Structure 1
Amino acid sequence: MLDEAIGGEDEIQSGWRPPTLKLPRPAAVDNLATALSARGLSDAAARTVARSAVRPDDMRRKLAEATELRVQGGTLSIIETRLWSASVIPHPANPREYGHRRYPLGGSGSIPAATPEPGSAIGRGAELELRISTPDLLAQRLEDAKECLIRENPLAYDIAAEGVLQPLTVAALTVVHANGHPNASLLIAADGSSRVSAVHSLLDYSPCRVAYEWGRDDRKYRKEINRWLRHVQRLGWEGLREDERQKLRALTVPARVVVGFEAHTSSGQRFHTAVRNFIGLTHIRPPRPYGPAVENEAKADAVLDSLAEPARTGAAHITGAEKHWFAATVTTEELLAEGLSRHSDLRAASIVRSLLGGGVGTSRRVNEGIRSLTAKMRPKREERVDIAVELILRPLRAGQEGDLAFIRSRRAALQRAYRLAEIENLPAGTLIELDDGQGPALEQLCDQALEEVGLGRGNDGRLGVAQTELAVKAAYYMAMAEPMALQREIFGGSEDEDDRSPAAVLRAMLSCRRGVLQAYEVVRAGRCDGKLYEVEESGRRVVTATGDHRELTDRLVRHAYTGEPLVEAATGYQAAAARWASVRNSVESLQQSVRAMEAVPQQVGGRSQVDAEGWDPTAVAAVRGDLDHVDRRIALWSDRHKEMDRQREAEQGLIDAIDRTD
């Protein structure tokens, strides 16, 4: 299954539903502007800030207790509120572009002058001022900045689902034009230009239109906002198309509006320097990241919360007991009292099945948990695998295996092993083999896997369900063994070295009889805390010339299971069964391709291309004709099988009648 199939329109529809909004009364805007002017903002800046507020009356009440935010050299006074997206533009001199800018001194005279940095407005505490030659220069600068930010830091798809989550830090900016054009009073994102650009992309806003058209014309500005408010009022949220819902999620943004600045006595710092220092602390010298392992741990807990919550259309994906089992927050005694397995491979397999199996339904639930921490709309499959592995490794930190080097190598091996594509086809229900007395024993799981080998599964490119479950369980002990019997692939080695991924090695291993028996032996020995030994074709341990059993290593596994296809039967049921497995895989691949095509949007965050415009009827008719031809041929096989069953039943009935007569 492709990740694109998970990130389609259906998943976006589960996003945030913004509250009902109203256009503020002009009187409320005027009252806020008056209060802001009293705090030292110029009349133009005060008006710009006031008209941007979604709830100007609430913002005016907060002015009495503005929050202080200390930065190097001074203290900013801020108010947290929501702003209309049609009132905010990116920072005209956004530092994210510094590494890509071209400067006139190093090029030809055709290169335009770089946009100057805003300075502090004289006599105003919390206002910036930008002096520029013409409005056209700033308009082009804003358009270039928007394109660069969308390319360098694409956020539109995530914002389309959840809106902007973290508040922008915005400040008033007065643009003074050297050619005599009237000053423009703007509101810029001192921190958050990428989010503003993504919002404008979703709403089809041009930043120069925000700055120079709506910025000076209240009637056009309010009309633009009101058309969306009237639209949702007329149709209701349920009556909106998904692309319209995405725009409404982006119609407002949370913000920290700077309404005052006081320099520290000893620094004499000016406002524009304080803003630059704030940006530096946020982006140039941010706090040290936690690191992937810690991040995956945090995501894992969020994912478990999501899976344990009842779904909108059904029960929870896992029970409360399973949640604590997966989180490793239970003792062995509590675990046994709940009827859960003490075997580490069964816990690992249950985690893998619950977080990675079950197809699209499971992926959506796991993604919901990831989004709750990251706001990432389309987490990749690799991210879900890494989270599952982090849960699996938790119990190891309590024992001697808590050594970082031990955990690091096992993490790398399991992350690659559990990227085995067939894992996604594991059913969302219980495993085939359980340890609670209700499911088949390990021997029966092995027998089912051997039956799948006999049907050609694995050699046709995809393992069966029993083969996959056995591979998941064996991979755990093979990675934990010392020496490791399954390691990550070798990069940069000689041509003679095997650079297959652990997932590819597992597929090759479980595709043959000997490999299934080897996996069975690995799980059996692992559950007894025994060493892992190589087995021969019969399943018996290999005996060396010295009479000892040969210990299993990664090199031995790779040597024994090269991935080369076995000699296939050319006639009879076994040959036909292998071909049938290939037919079934082709159907699954076709379904995946159709879902992937449906997930292609018209534009970033937009509707599906084929849902919106369909596809060429001639091309569709040709494909449907081919599918219809295949359907009729396969149906004939089914009819023939039923006919043969009836003949056999009739013959058996005749034989029984003769026997009764005799």
Structure 2
Amino acid sequence: MRRKLTEATELRVQGGTLSIVETRLWSASVIPHPANPREYGRRQYPLGGSGSTVATTPEPGSLIGRDAELELCIPTPDLLAQRLEDTKDRLLRENPLAYDIAAEGVLQPLTVVALTVVHANGHPRASLLVAADGSSRVSAVHSLLDYSPCRVAYEWGRDDRKYRKEINRWIRHAQKQGWDGLREDERQKLRALTVPARVVVGFDPHSQTNQRFHTAVRNFIGLTHIRPPRPYGPAVENEAKADAVLDSLVEPARTGPAHITDAEKHWFAATVTAEEVLAKGLSRHSDVRAASIVKSLLGGGVGTSRRVNEGIRSLTAKLRPKREERVDIAVELILRPLRAGKEGDLGFIRSRRAALQRVYRLPEIEDLPAGPLIESDEGGGRALEQLRDQALEEAGLGHGNDGRLSVAQTELAVKAVYYMAVAEPMALQREIFGGSGDEDDRSPATVLRAMLSCRRGILQAYEVVRAGRRGDKLYEVGESGHRVVTATGSHRELTDSLVRHAYTGEPLAEAAVGYPAAAVRWASVRNSVDSLQRNVKVMAAVPQQVGGRSQVEEEGWDPAAVAALREDLDHIDRSVARWSDRHKELELLREAEQDPTDTID
């Protein structure tokens, strides 16, 4: 740090120039700003007559005789200690960053200034480092490390031996265990042990204004938070994340090949021409591209989710990106070619984005296996007619009506809905809220599942894809798959209201006995298990305190309650295992009957 004092850089602010030094600080040496501007809207002021007995912490002023140091005058140390604890708790609630920082540490530097605290009761002065910008990050770091800001201010700030002891215990532990020998919670703490910082070491006011240092600091905070540059907006953010995700997917994994090829990366990113797409052996059809993006970013189970999340974290440092965020990123990639010529029609893109984001939240997409699509232009790909026929077979077995589409049904749905969403008028839109009560408020994903669960809907989806690839309008088809002719002899154009009316999602009458009926019940069982797994994860994520470790991982749960639950699960396990054994037994009997080499001597 001393060497860097000779290499200070200048940062112009309103009213003067700050001299700053970029370095890393131990998290045990920095506290949140005791008068954090984020709390302005909730402060209780004495003039308001609120009756509160808690004194308001004054704003720091400039320390006389020092160029770049603040001074805070308060009655007692207890007041500042309570103020720091309140600030930390509020920032953790309103701007929770602990999970993100646990994954990558603090990435953006804090802006740190020196603060001298003067106590009216005669307590010795305290010299502190406070985050003029970055109090939320400091609070999150302290939460991860179980630091109390008043301890940082009044114990470690006053006793250098205790301060070094706290730091050294982590250094020694890391050296003894090695990174691979540490628990994940210990790694998270080590990532938070230091923070990047821009320390303000000097201030040169403009001669015309002769501005004080504390005013310059407040102006700097204002430019950062109160009047910052206009945000990019979610669409732009998702575009940036999309490029980061593609970079992640094209890189070889630690234990296997890359998730997508370099050619697919540029195809998904829409950075190649139509001629280059064909030259690379990729499909010219927009629905195949959309389905490939959806499958590559949203299908393939946990393995795909991890790779996509790696790309998101490289840009945002989010520890656990949600599935909805992955869906939004996929949709933004799909929409890129559509924006050509639509710069002035924001409503066109906005409505299509909303519809596709809703429909591609279809849970069955996660079950799509890794690898190429069933129907594609790649070697070995099947024809669209074969995809249709396989989807019809799956519907005949009760899939869709059992609560979940199967693989071919899902792929056909993903392709058809692309053209239904981009059509003019749209053949499938987002659900309607706040109407008279008669509107169909089912989500597009629910409507699509109902459509792909019956023969007519599958034929409709097949015809939508065919028409979309030709650039034709979309028309309604009947049970035969042919266009419906109205009383006037014309064809009926496909619309959102027509699709919702035709495909209500009611179970087929014949799905009352046999395999189709059993499949409906199996889907309910499967959904219940999925719900159980989600609830277990949600329960495990409940922290002991804000930003803390899991309540159940630390304290456990009632053994009697757990034993009763495990007994129920064991009973279910034995039941379904018996069904599986019976199915295997029948398969072996059928194979034995069909084996021509199995003869009796």
More moved, 611-620 vs 268-277: 611-620
Give the percent of matched residue pairs that are identical in Structure 1 and Structure 2: 85
Partner of 1:325: 267
Partner of 2:240: 298
Partner of 2:117: 175
Return closer, same or farther for 1:650/1:338 CA change in 2, 3 Å cut-off: closer
The one-character-per-residue Cα deviations of 1:588-607 (angstroms, maximum 9, x if unpaired) are 44444445555555555555
2:197 pairs, out of 235, 255, 263, with: 255
Partner of 2:454: 512
Partner of 2:97: 155
Partner of 1:195: 137
The question of whether the paired residues in 2 share the 8 Å contact of 1:263 and 1:270 is answered with yes
More moved, 164-173 vs 310-319: 310-319
1:486 pairs, out of 416, 428, 453, with: 428
Return closer, same or farther for 1:642/1:438 CA change in 2, 3 Å cut-off: closer
2:11 pairs, out of 45, 48, 69, with: 69
* Distance (whole Å) between structure 2 residues aligned to residue 304 and residue 653 of structure 1: 48
Q: State the Cα distance separating 1:201 from its structure 2 match.
A: 0.6
1:339 is the counterpart of 2:272: no
Q: State the Cα distance separating 1:403 from its structure 2 match.
A: 3.3
Q: State the Cα distance separating 1:190 from its structure 2 match.
A: 0.5
2:444 pairs, out of 474, 491, 502, with: 502
Partner of 2:520: 578
The question of whether the paired residues in 2 share the 8 Å contact of 1:449 and 1:516 is answered with yes
1:407 is the counterpart of 2:349: yes
Partner of 1:219: 161
1:349 pairs, out of 262, 275, 291, with: 291
SS of structure 2 residue aligned to 1:76: strand
Q: State the Cα distance separating 1:243 from its structure 2 match.
A: 0.9
* Distance (whole Å) between structure 2 residues aligned to residue 424 and residue 228 of structure 1: 41
Partner of 1:619: 561
Matches within 5 A, 1:431-446: 431-446=373-388
Aligned-residue RMSD, C-alpha: 2.3
Partner of 1:391: 333
* Distance (whole Å) between structure 1 residues aligned to residue 74 and residue 343 of structure 2: 63
Q: State the Cα distance separating 1:575 from its structure 2 match.
A: 2.6
More moved, 108-117 vs 498-507: 108-117
SS of structure 1 residue aligned to 2:113: strand
More moved, 616-625 vs 412-421: 616-625
Return closer, same or farther for 1:652/1:371 CA change in 2, 3 Å cut-off: closer
1:243 is the counterpart of 2:181: no
Stretches of structure 1 that go unaligned for 5 or more consecutive residues are 1-58
The one-character-per-residue Cα deviations of 1:129-148 (angstroms, maximum 9, x if unpaired) are 01111111111111111111
* Distance (whole Å) between structure 2 residues aligned to residue 432 and residue 233 of structure 1: 52
* Distance (whole Å) between structure 2 residues aligned to residue 268 and residue 651 of structure 1: 99
The one-character-per-residue Cα deviations of 1:163-216 (angstroms, maximum 9, x if unpaired) are 111000001110111111111111100111111111111111111111111111
1:430 pairs, out of 369, 372, 378, with: 372
Partner of 1:21: none
* Distance (whole Å) between structure 1 residues aligned to residue 515 and residue 140 of structure 2: 58
The question of whether the paired residues in 2 share the 8 Å contact of 1:456 and 1:581 is answered with no
Alignment length (residue pairs):
600
Return closer, same or farther for 1:603/1:355 CA change in 2, 3 Å cut-off: farther
SS of structure 1 residue aligned to 2:578: helix
Return closer, same or farther for 1:607/1:431 CA change in 2, 3 Å cut-off: farther
Aligned residue type for 2:330? A
The question of whether the paired residues in 2 share the 8 Å contact of 1:310 and 1:316 is answered with yes
Partner of 2:393: 451
Aligned residue type for 1:102? Q
* Distance (whole Å) between structure 2 residues aligned to residue 377 and residue 334 of structure 1: 37
Partner of 1:145: 87
* Distance (whole Å) between structure 2 residues aligned to residue 112 and residue 335 of structure 1: 68
* Distance (whole Å) between structure 2 residues aligned to residue 642 and residue 207 of structure 1: 63
More moved, 139-148 vs 637-646: 637-646
Aligned residue type for 2:292? S
Q: Greater relative contact order (Cα 8 A, min sep 6): structure 1 or 2?
A: 1
Q: State the Cα distance separating 1:394 from its structure 2 match.
A: 0.8
* Distance (whole Å) between structure 1 residues aligned to residue 130 and residue 346 of structure 2: 46
* Distance (whole Å) between structure 1 residues aligned to residue 82 and residue 576 of structure 2: 62
Partner of 1:47: none
Aligned residue type for 2:260? I
The question of whether the paired residues in 1 share the 8 Å contact of 2:398 and 2:515 is answered with no
* Distance (whole Å) between structure 1 residues aligned to residue 364 and residue 286 of structure 2: 21
1:233 pairs, out of 170, 175, 178, with: 175
More moved, 594-603 vs 87-96: 594-603
The question of whether the paired residues in 2 share the 8 Å contact of 1:157 and 1:604 is answered with no
* Distance (whole Å) between structure 2 residues aligned to residue 112 and residue 653 of structure 1: 87
Stretches of structure 2 that go unaligned for 5 or more consecutive residues are none
Return closer, same or farther for 1:652/1:237 CA change in 2, 3 Å cut-off: closer
* Distance (whole Å) between structure 2 residues aligned to residue 156 and residue 164 of structure 1: 10
Aligned residue type for 1:326? F
More moved, 623-632 vs 451-460: 623-632
The question of whether the paired residues in 1 share the 8 Å contact of 2:398 and 2:511 is answered with no
Return closer, same or farther for 1:412/1:130 CA change in 2, 3 Å cut-off: same
The question of whether the paired residues in 1 share the 8 Å contact of 2:140 and 2:547 is answered with no
Aligned residue type for 1:280? G
2:208 pairs, out of 266, 276, 280, with: 266
Q: State the Cα distance separating 1:641 from its structure 2 match.
A: 4.2
Q: State the Cα distance separating 1:464 from its structure 2 match.
A: 1.5
Aligned residue type for 1:73? G
Partner of 1:27: none
